[in-house]
Amino acid sequence: MSEAETDQDRAGHAAGTSGAVPARRPRIAAAVTAAVLFAGVATVLARTTPWNPLPGHVPGGHVRPDPALDFTPAEIARSRAFDSAVTPPAYSGLLVGLALILVLGLTPLGARFLGRATAKLRRRPFLIVLGTMALTTLLRVAGLPFDIWGESVLRRYGLSTQSWPAWLVDQAKSLAVTWVIYTIALLLLYALTRRFPRYWWTGAAAGGFVLVVFASFVYPLAVEPVFNKFHSLPAGQLRGDLLAMARRDGVPVKDVLVADASRRTTSLNAYVSGFGSTRRIVLYDTLLKSPPAQVESIVGHELGHAKRDDVLWGTLVGALGVAGAMCLLYLLMTSPRLLRGAGLDPGGPGAGGTGPDARRGGGAADPRSIALVLALVTAGTTLAAPVQNLVSRHIEARADAHALDLTRDPSTFVSMQHALSVRNISDLDPDTAEYVLWLTHPSAPDRIAMARDWARLHGVQAPPPLR
């Protein structure tokens, strides 16, 4: 859309003529597209989420999760003490971070901060790059005391093995990754808002979808090596058994990688990342000291993710959600009331290309709106987290069921869940807020109860209580 067309439409709107009609059309189209995309995501989630990972009637009824059946009073007390120690920094950091970005984004403070940070720059891309780096750095520094507090708790309970200098290096790496991701996304977004002031939501929706898929694909190759070194699981009985199990499961796995997690933590973990040619199954090196049967049970869980293409499925659903969010972002970023509240001129000082701040662009195209964009994105991701966590817990439960189907060894599964929980000091009785905000996996008692349900359902002897 040309500058002349923009000026004509603005003049028509001010005069109360038909210029107002074209101005509403993009917003209506964006609203309808957002509604369709979000309805599509909701439909896909409702139809594909494994709400019942163990289909069929369980003889004798479902087992009730009970930490006291498998964990000693000392283990339960330690879990509660750790939860009480780690919860304050987690909630405090979350609340302070939310409050800060919302204040910066929804008031003129953010625009003023960005204006001062980029005052000496003239070229528009540099305004966006420096503004993004300045704001994300401010947010990271504000959260640093709470991160240090949480790290201190991990050290006190023996979960962290890092020195403070090494920990700070990781924080710097994380900030650098944030700079790269946010800068690329915002450079593309503001290029669209500048070039297509009325219909940038179409490009943002398509671009957001592509970026999410691309980022998920390259994450194992571009981001994971920044924080860990990986090597193939050495040749031997364990490697042979794991690859044989993958072949038996019909999952093409060329290699099993080991991450040098022990230089940071004593916790046990494994995961699947990437899809297609970048898909990998990764074990923490801390896990290799566990009994081979327990490692096989854990890898069986990860094979469940790989066989169902959970990473790819989650990526595509997430990308659809981001596309819808870009349409919603357009509606919010073209709201004159919201822009004025954020200290931005909806018309823009440089909208006509002649003002002293013409390099910035007007309204949503003004790089000083970066704070508003991040505030809206943060609010959206926070509101979406409970739904994401709910779906994730059911997908993880399905992967547990897959591991049980593959190994047919619920006793080892139960002992493995016990060992993981004790080693990682997992929360054995999370409250509702923790389930909603944090838990992407079922609790250990839930997973152990499901293993006993699986045993009843398949006529296998149910694992007795470990105590």
Comparing C-alpha atoms, which of 233, 235, 227, 301 is closest to residue 271?
Answer: 301
Q: Helical H runs in 107-199?
A: 108-117, 124-156, 164-195
- Residue 336: its pLDDT value, please? 94
3-state secondary structure of 171: helix
Question: What is the Cα Rg of the chain in Å?
Answer: 25
Q: Give the 3-state secondary structure percentages of the chain, helix then strand then coil, rounded to 5.
A: 70, 5, 25
Structure tokens belonging to residue 453: 């349900």
Q: Which whole-number Å values give the CA distances from 333 to 130, 131, 359, 362, 381, in the listed order?
A: 21, 18, 19, 11, 17
Known binding residue 305? Answer is yes
Residues 154-180, mean pLDDT to the nearest whole number: 98
Structure tokens belonging to residue 137: 């750095």
Query: Percentage of the chain with pLDDT > 90?
Result: 89
Reply yes or no on whether 429 is catalytic. Answer: no
pTM to 2 decimal places: 0.91
Residues 157-175, mean pLDDT to the nearest whole number: 98
Domain boundaries, the chain: 3-9+20-231+299-457, 232-283+285-295
Q: Under CATH, what is the fold of the domain 232-283+285-295?
A: Zincin-like (3.30.2010)
CB proximity list for 453: less than 8 A, separation 6 or greater: 54, 58, 62, 63
- Residue 237: its pLDDT value, please? 96
Q: How far apart are CA 211 and CA 176, in angstroms?
A: 18
- Tokens 């479902």 appear where? 62
Q: Please pick, among 249, 400, 409, 446, the residue that the annotation labels catalytic.
A: 400
Known binding residue 57? Answer is no
For the CA atoms of 59, 65, 67, 71, the dihedral, rounded to the nearest 10 degrees, stands at 30
Known binding residue 224? Answer is no
- Residue 122: its pLDDT value, please? 86
Give helix 370-407 / helix 444-457 axis angle, nearest 10°.
40
Residue 21 has pLDDT above 80, yes or no: no
Q: How confident is residue 467, by pLDDT bands cut at 50, 70 and 90?
A: confident
Q: Are 146 and 93 in contact (CB under 8 A)?
A: yes
Structure tokens belonging to residue 9: 């439409």
What does pLDDT average to over the chain? 92
3-state secondary structure of 438: coil
What are the pLDDT digits (tens) for 298-313?
999 999 999 999 999 9
What are the pLDDT digits (tens) for 255-274?
999 999 999 999 999 999 99
Q: Are 252 and 225 in contact (CB under 8 A)?
A: no
Comparing C-alpha atoms, which of 205, 256, 251, 183 is closest to residue 41?
Answer: 205
- Residue 22: its pLDDT value, please? 59
Q: How far apart are CA 84 and CA 4, in angstroms?
A: 61
Comparing C-alpha atoms, which of 312, 303, 302, 305 is closest to residue 277?
Answer: 312
Count of CB atoms situated within 10 Å of the CB of 420: 20
Reply yes or no on whether 302 is catalytic. Answer: yes
Q: How far apart are CA 103 and CA 110, in angstroms?
A: 8
3-state secondary structure of 434: helix
- Residue 69: its pLDDT value, please? 97
What are the pLDDT digits (tens) for 95-134?
999 999 999 999 999 999 999 999 998 899 999 999 999 9
Q: Please pick, among 151, 302, 409, 453, the residue that the annotation labels catalytic.
A: 302
